[in-house]
Structure 1
């Protein structure tokens, strides 16, 4: 097996999340401004509470962001599944601390997240 194939094999064994954007459904201006900015900003971040960007790929009309896989679902569903639809104080403190440290890290690098939501 060639070294290129071995590298692809090693990468393919890692479970990742892939965000796929069909560039034919959005304007060229949006692509240049936002898709490239998202990849650039993600590549600048290295924090345990922020998913890592592994690769960006443009193939045909699709643009792919390959990121670390964050398992466990979204926070909103998790909270709703708790007794009474609420987190206990210890869990709430832990999640709040993780969110605050990630935001502080981003802000210290002059990056502001514009769409924070629990979903």
Structure 2
């Protein structure tokens, strides 16, 4: 459903015994938490923090336009591509807006 450079491509999904497996695009940079822990003083420079915050904001804006509520934003779910760009992952807690709207109708 999502076709945007800030979201990994899902290539396949299959069940293996009692596990559900997803084959998605590989992000060799790891996640944002790992990248943060590799920094000498355990924090990003101001330009880096602005860059990552802006990319996450653009990704969330796209999800909002697609009617998706992303409810699991944390550094472990922000993957880093080879070129330093981000990808959001882990959509298991996400909701479609129509489901969200119906849940709160009284």
Which bracket does the TM-score occupy, shorter chain normalised? 0.5 to 0.7
Highest Rg: 1 or 2? 1
Deviations 1:15-38 (A, max 9, x none): xxxxxxxxxxxxxxxxxxxxxxxx
Residue in structure 1 matched with residue 25 of structure 2 by the alignment: 68
* Alpha-carbon shift at residue 94 of structure 1 (Å): 1.0
The RMSD of aligned alpha carbons is 1.6
- TM-score after normalising by structure 1: 0.57
* Alpha-carbon shift at residue 60 of structure 1 (Å): 5.1
In structure 2, relative to structure 1, the CA distance for the partners of 1:84 and 1:61 (3 Å cut) is closer
1:26-45 to structure 2, matched below 5 A, reads 44-45=1-2
Partners of 2:35 and 2:19 in 1: CA distance? 32
Instruction: Choose from 67, 79, 100 the match for 1:110.
Output: 67
Secondary structure of the equivalent of 2:11? strand
Residue in structure 2 matched with residue 89 of structure 1 by the alignment: 46
* Alpha-carbon shift at residue 59 of structure 1 (Å): 5.0
Q: Give the number of the structure whose residues are more often helix, by fraction.
A: 1
Structure 1's consecutive aligned runs of 4 or more residues displaced over 3 angstroms after TM superposition are 58-62
Q: Unmatched 5+ residue regions in structure 2? A: 77-106
